[in-house]
Structure 1
Amino acid sequence: MLAQTNDYKITYKRFEGNHKRDAVLYVKENQPTVMQTIMASTVPIKVLKDTTYINENGATVMKGFSGSTDYSKFPDEYIKVDHLQNKIEMIKDIHKKNFLVTDELNYTWQITNETKKIKDYTCYKATTTFRGNTFEAWFTPDIPINAGPWKWYGLPGLIVEATDKDQSVVFKLEKIEKLTEEIPFPSSKSKKMTLKQYFKEADEAFEAMFASNDRNTTTTVKTLGRFGLERVYEWEEEPKK
């Protein structure tokens, strides 16, 4: 059991596809939480056909059709969650240019009686649905703070494990430390836009890129967000009759 404090640095392992990486949640009393996904920490869960390896600098590299990918050169991802206002800010990029993207979520958890032990914490299962997906979280009242990885919050205890119905992305608690540093969130010089505006600009940028590669082809592109944890956004839903 941790000493009584409301300031934490919480490290999760984020499992996605064939890779895992560190995702660090910064929690400070009376402030929005921030999750930083550290791209340089990416490692393969297993080697597929000898295409993924660790180079001499300790960076994870994957050989593909377009050459090698060095994850240490990818920008870290940031999500700031203000659970009191139901407001979210994210640092997202389009062609290596960062934007401050705002989002709002309002969802309700269903807490079950199902329990299990995770790292000596008694955890309870909760489920919720939003944006075309169903989510499962395990939280512990042993750490009575309203926080969790990604955009999840709103439970009477820290979320220590969470995923979606397909387990396309899985977060698992790695360690909890006392917060002794400033919370990182590099947004001061980034252009601000809504999530809907971001996807519109990202789609247009990708369409322009494909069009420049093949002037005889018209391509409609949807960004990867539609295939991650969020499948259908509010503005994409069919109007109710």
Structure 2
Amino acid sequence: MRRIYCLLLFLYLQVYFSQNTIVEFAVFTDSDEKTFLNEFLLITPSKESVYMTNSNYDFSSKNALRGTLEDKNAKITTFIKSTDKSIFEYKWKVPELQCLIEDKLIYKWTILDETKEILGYKCYKAKTKFRGREWTVYFTYEIQVNAGPWKFKDLPGLILEAEDSEKQFKFAASKIILNSKVEIPDIILNFFENNKNKFVDYKFYIGKENAMFKDIDSRLAANRPKGLVLKEEFGIRDCDIERSFEWENDSKKP
């Protein structure tokens, strides 16, 4: 009888942990918390996660998946896959260079004693400096997965909220579906593996992106009315979520 119980328990745990976890995030872009869009974090039993925006998918219902990443009408602004070692990202801003990039990240987190409740979970405060911004996040030990919104990871639990110190960007979990029976389409899970021929170096892509931003800035300056003086000078990436990069600091060293 004990063997049967242990077998049933084993089978139950196999099913329980073989299902996906889905977290829906509301993304805000200013201090007034005006919703910009909704994004999804999809966590698989293999400890990989996908973070994406795509209005063609509805992950709240098992039978409501529709559209594909190849659909011309799909509205994709964010598409990131995270593994234990790397983050793979689909970049789209440079029109002539829509491509995939492997980005190896190192976070230096400081975990604090301050807590708050998010969606019924006790969450702990943590801070880090990442690519030109200071971030405050809240994570929960109750869901022990190495994942979070956008590129955030490497804390001992699921990250449910993240905001930069200037309140330009905020990610806030609005729904958590544990052990979801929704099957994540292979075109999402295997997209990066199936398109490795499109990979480019991250630093190379950012160089192209910066050149595009500089060109736009020059065009705006050329069309500015004569005599108009801006009260404040802005950097070309000041409005971007990644304002600076670690290799820029390396290049300044003697």
Provide TM-score, normalisation by structure 2.
Answer: 0.67
Which stretches in structure 1 are left out of the alignment for 5+ residues? Answer: 42-71
What displacement does 1:26 show? 0.7
What displacement does 1:74 show? 4.2
Change (3 A) 1:114 1:99: same
Contact 1:15 1:171 in 2 (8 A): yes
Change (3 A) 1:32 1:96: farther
Q: Which residue of 2 aligns with 1:66?
A: none
Q: Which residue of 1 aligns with 2:183?
A: 181
1:191 aligns with 2:198: yes
Q: Deviations over 1:132-166 (max 9, x none)?
A: 22111101111121111011111111111111111
1:22 aligns with 2:38: yes
Change (3 A) 1:12 1:179: farther
Q: Which residue of 2 aligns with 1:228?
A: 240
Question: Aligned with 1:227: secondary structure?
Answer: coil
Contact 1:202 1:223 in 2 (8 A): no
Q: Deviations over 1:101-159 (max 9, x none)?
A: 22111112111111111111111101111222211110111112111101111111111
Contact 1:26 1:179 in 2 (8 A): no
What root-mean-square deviation, in Å, do the aligned CA atoms of Structure 1 and Structure 2 show? 3.2
Q: How many angstroms apart in 2 are the aligned matches of 1:90 and 1:161?
A: 21
Change (3 A) 1:197 1:173: same
Q: Deviations over 1:174-199 (max 9, x none)?
A: 11121522252544446211221112
Q: How many angstroms apart in 1 are the aligned matches of 2:147 and 2:166?
A: 23
Contact 2:53 2:75 in 1 (8 A): no
Q: Which has the higher strand share?
A: 1
1:201 aligns with 2:203: no
Q: Which has the larger radius of gyration?
A: 2
What displacement does 1:16 show? 1.5
Q: Deviations over 1:83-105 (max 9, x none)?
A: x21x1111111217520022111
Change (3 A) 1:223 1:100: farther
Q: How many angstroms apart in 1 are the aligned matches of 2:27 and 2:167?
A: 11
1:1-241 aligned within 5 A: 5=17, 7-17=20-30, 18-38=34-54, 74-82=75-83, 84-85=84-85, 87-93=86-92, 94-95=94-95, 98-177=98-177, 178=180, 180-182=182-184, 184=188, 186-187=191-192, 188-189=194-195, 191-204=198-211, 224=237, 227-237=239-249, 239-240=252-253
Q: Which has the higher helix share?
A: 2
Q: Which range moved further: 166-175 or 228-237?
A: 228-237
